[in-house]
Amino acid sequence: MSLADPESDFAAENVVPLVYKPAMTTTIIGTLNAVSAKLTTTVLLQMDNAVSTQHANYATVAAGFLKAEGLS
């Protein structure tokens, strides 16, 4: 069920990755930074719509994003 927000009172939230700090590597940091640079609010909403309302597989949607952005 989608809720209307005609007054734009509820802005999109920031995505924050949770990572076990002792496991952080430069590869993980680089990967998170690369994804963060490409993940706009518009793209996030498109992916959310695909999974929520179109019932697309979330792994397929995520893989498609990574491929489209040259991150896979």
Instruction: Show me where the domains of the chain are located.
Output: 39-72
Please write the tens of the pLDDT for every residue from 24-37: 999 999 999 999 99
Give the chain's length: 72
Model confidence, pTM: 0.73
Who wins on pLDDT, 19 or 12? 19
Task: Copy the structure tokens of residue 6.
Answer: 């005609």
CA 8 vs CA 17, 30, 50: distances in Å = 25, 33, 21
